[in-house]
Amino acid sequence: MAASLEMRIEPIRSLVAASVGATYTNIGTPLNKPTRMVIIQNETNASVMISFAAEDDHIQMRAGSQIIIDVCTNEVQSQGFYISKETQFKVKYTGVAPTSGSVNITSMYARGS
Instruction: Please report the DSSP string for 45-73 in residue order.
Output: SS-EEEESSTT---EEE-TTEEEEEETTT
Give me the percent of the chain exceeding a pLDDT of 70.
Answer: 88
If one counts every other C-beta atom within 10 angstroms of the C-beta of residue 31, the result is 22
Q: What is the residue extent of each domain of the chain?
A: 10-112
The predicted-structure confidence for 77-91, as pLDDT tens digits, reads as follows 656 678 999 999 999
CATH code at 10-112: 2.60.120
Whether pTM > 0.75 for this model: the answer is: yes
What is the distance between the alpha carbons of residues 36 and 100, in angstroms, rounded to a whole number? 30
